[in-house]
Structures are given as C-alpha cells and as structure tokens.
Amino acid sequence: MSRTTAIARAEDYFDSGALRSDLARRVGIPSESQNPERAAALVDYIETELKPTFEALGFVCHTLHEGDWPFLLAERLEDESLPTVLGYGHGDVIRGLDDAWDDGLSPWQMAERDGRWYGRGVADNKGQHSINIGALAAVLETRGRLGFNAKYLIEMGEERISPGLRELAVRHKALLRADVLIASDGPRLTAGRPTIFLGSRGAVSFNMWIDARSGGHHSGNWGGLLSDPAIQLAHAIATIAGPTGQIQVPEWLPSGGIPANVRRVLADCEIDDSGEEPKIDPLWGEPDLTAAEKLFAWSSFAVLAFEAGNPKTPVGAIAPRAWSRCQLRFVVGVDPDDILPALRRHLDRNGFTNVEIVQASDEVFPATRLDPDHPWVHWTVNSIERTTGEKPAILPNLGGSLPNDVFMEVLGLPTIWVPHSYPKCSQHAPNEHIPLAIVRQGLALMAGLYWDLGEPGVPADGRKGGHEGEITAVS
C-alpha cells in the first residue's frame, strides 16, 4: 500500500485501454445541452453512465433537479473527522457540429489519431472528470479507502451557463458542505506543463445599436445628407478600445492594478504560441503587461459581431440601423454592476447619446480568484510537483469563465482547478481532441493528489478559521 502503487494503478487504467473504453462510451452519449432534442441524453448520462460508475466505488448517489436541469451528487463519507473534498464536472457538451469534422472523425465516435483522442467532450469535460474518477478508483483499490470524504457534483447545463446551479447550491448547501473544491475543467497553460488555476475571469455580453430611421435610402440621392449609423457605431466602439485594443473605460479595469502576488505567480507563466495557429500579437492589448498578465490579470474587450445593411447582398443604400454584439472579460477589482452604467457614461461623454446598449442575456459570470498564497494552493503545488517532478504553473484565474462563483460565494470554499486539457484542444469547435500525454499524466498527478488528501498535512478546515489567505470573489 503506497502512493507509488496508486499512481501506477492509475497509469495502468490508461495503458490497459480501460479508460479509452469508458471515455468512448461516454462520448457516444450525445449530451448536447443546447439542443432541446437531447434532453433525454442529459438524464441518460447521469443515470446509465456515471451513477453506476460512482456506485461501484462505494459512493451514494443522488439525482437532483433544478427546473428542467438534472444534477448528480455522488458522496462517499468515511469519517466526520476527515476533510471533505468537493469535485465538479459537467456531462453536457456543446453542439456536435457533425458535418464540420475532418474526414474520418465524428463528434460521437471517439477516435485516436496522431497521439490524440478526438470526440465531443474528450476535453470539455467528459475526459477531465473521467480522469479524476479513474484516479479516485486507483486510490481506493490501493488503500482500501480514500482517507478523506469525497463529494462529486456533475451538472448537465454548463454549456448553457449553468442554469439552476446557483439555486441548487443555495437549496442544498448543507448537502454540498465541504472544505475545498478540487475540480478539473479548462486548459493548462501549455500542453506540456501541469497547471492549477484559482478562479475565473468574469464575462458580460451586451448589444450596442443605433436606429437612425425607418428604412434605407439611396446612397446617391442621400449620401452626404443622412447620417450613417454604421460609421457612427464604429466610432463609438473606437472610443471604448484604442487601435491596439487598449480599454478606454477606466471602470472596466481592475482597481488598484494587478496585486503583487498575482504578478509574482504570473512571472513564472509563459504562454506558448509556437507551432499551430494562432500567434500572439505582441502589440495588442494593454502596454507594459506581459502576455500572461494580459490574459489572466487584466480585462479584455471584444466585438463579437457587427452588422449593418445586408452583409450577404449589399445594396447602394445608407443603412437605417447598425448593430453589434460586444463582450467584456473582466477580473477581480472590476464592479460587475457598474460595467454597463460606466459604458453609458462613457458614450455620453463622447457624444454618442444615440447609441443604445443592453445586456445580451441575464447571465453574467462573476470574476473570482483565490489568494495565490492560500495554504491549499501551496499544498496542491507540492503534491503535483512530488508526482511529476515539475512545479506546476499557477494561474490566479482562468482566462475564460466558469461557475466558480457558486463554489466560492455560495458554498464559501477555496477553489483549486487542475485542468487536463490545453489551449489548442478545439473545444466548442469541430475536431475537439485531447493529447494522450496529458491524459496519462493527469491520471498520475490526480492519483497522487487524492492519495495525499488521505495523509497528514492537509490544510486545516477553512470554515473553522484554520486557513490563511483570502477568498476573493466579485458578484
């Protein structure tokens, strides 16, 4: 009975082909949460696939519902005196986009090619929680017990911005009570380097438009006499960000700048844009920041779509209306409640009172970040380094967005994410894939981490005042 044996068992789960078989079966369930016709598949993934898997490991399973959305909570409680760890994953996937995959590839039939597994969900998120479940099994088979209390929450609507997750956490707060969240989603910093991240950037999408008049008018008869809403809207957008993308709305930037400990951990993080596209544009974004600071410690603004007239069949007329969908990714230190009011003030100051703005949906991902000096961070880094021989990259937050605020704000947990994918995995696109090297190493480092959770030296229970450092969230 040893840590080394548990890691070897986890690696054998990969080497034997057992993980490949399990993941291929899970990929074969077309659990597209954005497709109403796949509602039965969402339930099927929980009831016929994951519930029997967890029950075979001695977990008690509960199927929970919030509205139309199913959730699975699996728990194995060994002793009240032991630490309790909450895991998380999502079994839903983005639309398959079946016809757009390369020849010989399908979203619903996992395939191996050039050292990668291809299929919808292999990276986001079926492959990631399958790695963690396999590592839990390896520890149980080796030790005969986990040595800690484990709870695992699987949701089936993350690709729909997690409907019902916050409400479920509020209603079942006692059932979800834990000492720490240790979960896997999102990408590593690079394919070759183990990574942890401690929260996520926030995100809000909004529409901007100008309605100038009721219809289009001939550009020869009226050009130079009628205002062009497309030109006006383009100029309005140009006041929001400069020609190199630098944000010009002060309230959209983190108050106080980048904290010193965030700069410290990001100094050890180099973004690799070698090999395949895309390539980093070094002059884009906030000047005097490193690439890692721009992505993980600063806000970014993007125009997702812009439309005027009829883009497919342009005619010689001044369009009556121009419209754009925009998005702000923001970090801790930005007040989410003031994002759109600040934009309104900014546009008015610059003479664009005719530009209308409205939030694109009710959903806003808040920004969250665990203090990089928190004891759970140091503990996790030490465990991964012990297994891999390499210090993992520490990201203060993911560049994208996750429902981390639910775990941090509602449940009050320190949050540690250990991703098992990489930035070029094509998640949400055709040809989603995951490198086999990441899968095998992920099994090993998670088996080591779960083993260490059952050993002395685990950080004290934060709810009892036994931790140092801060949990920071913006909502």
Cα-based distances in Å from 402 to 159, 279, 417, 446: 10, 25, 11, 21
Element (H, E) at 269: none
Residue 106 has pLDDT above 90, yes or no: yes
385: left (phi over 0), alpha (psi -120 to 50) or beta: alpha
Give the tokens for residue 132: 């963690």
Cα-based distances in Å from 252 to 35, 52, 107, 200, 347: 34, 47, 38, 16, 14
**329-371: pLDDT as tens digits:** 999 999 999 999 999 999 999 999 999 999 997 678 899 999 9
User: How many Å apart are CA 434 and CA 122, to the nearest integer?
Assistant: 6
Give me the CATH topology for the region 3-200+366-473.
Answer: Aminopeptidase (3.40.630)
Confidence of residue 1 (pLDDT cuts 50, 70, 90): confident
Among candidate residues 55, 76, 256, 100, the one with its CA nearest the CA of residue 149: 76
The arithmetic mean of pLDDT across residues 75-96, rounded, is: 97
Cα-based distances in Å from 53 to 31, 50, 63, 339, 358: 18, 5, 14, 44, 45
The arithmetic mean of pLDDT across residues 264-270, rounded, is: 97
Angle, helices 18-27/3-15, rounded to nearest 10 degrees: 60
Q: Is 314 exposed, middle or buried (0-12, 13-18, 19+ CB in 10 A)?
A: exposed
Q: What is the pLDDT of residue 105?
A: 98
Residue 166 has pLDDT above 50, yes or no: yes
Residue 145 has pLDDT above 80, yes or no: yes
pTM of the model: 0.92
Q: What is the pLDDT of residue 274?
A: 81
Partners of residue 365 on adjacent β-strands:
203
**393-426: pLDDT as tens digits:** 999 999 988 999 999 999 999 999 999 999 999 9
The whole-chain average pLDDT of the chain stands at: 95
Residue 119 has pLDDT above 60, yes or no: yes
Q: What is the pLDDT of residue 197?
A: 98
The arithmetic mean of pLDDT across residues 47-64, rounded, is: 98
Number of other residues whose CB lies within 10 A of the CB of residue 411: 17
49-84: string of b/e by CB count within 10 Å (b at 16+)? bbbebbeebebebeebebeebbbbbbbbeeeeebbb
More confident residue, 41 or 274: 41
Residue 71 has pLDDT above 60, yes or no: yes
Start-end of CATH 3.30.70.360 domains in the chain:
202-270+283-359
The arithmetic mean of pLDDT across residues 48-63, rounded, is: 98
Q: What is the pLDDT of residue 318?
A: 96
Q: Under a CB-based contact definition with an 8 Å cutoff, are residues 176 and 409 in contact?
A: no
Residue 264 has pLDDT above 80, yes or no: yes
More confident residue, 461 or 370: 370
Q: What is the pLDDT of residue 468?
A: 39
Percent of the chain with pLDDT over 70: 97
**Which CATH code fits 202-270+283-359?**
3.30.70.360
Angle, helices 3-15/436-453, rounded to nearest 10 degrees: 150
User: Sign of the CA dihedral 175, 176, 177, 182?
Assistant: positive
The arithmetic mean of pLDDT across residues 117-139, rounded, is: 98
Q: What is the pLDDT of residue 278?
A: 85
User: How many Å apart are CA 246 and CA 453, to the nearest integer?
Assistant: 44
Confidence of residue 472 (pLDDT cuts 50, 70, 90): low
Residue 229 has pLDDT above 90, yes or no: yes
Mean pLDDT lowest for which of 272-281, 322-331, 347-356, 445-454? 272-281
Q: What is the pLDDT of residue 361?
A: 78
Give the tokens for residue 107: 């979203």
Using the structure block, give the residue that is written with the tokens 């007239």: 309
Q: Under a CB-based contact definition with an 8 Å cutoff, are residues 32 and 94 in contact?
A: yes
Start-end of CATH 3.40.630.10 domains in the chain:
3-200+366-473
Cα-based distances in Å from 298 to 18, 133, 190, 404, 418: 42, 34, 20, 18, 22
Using the structure block, give the residue that is written with the tokens 């490949």: 20
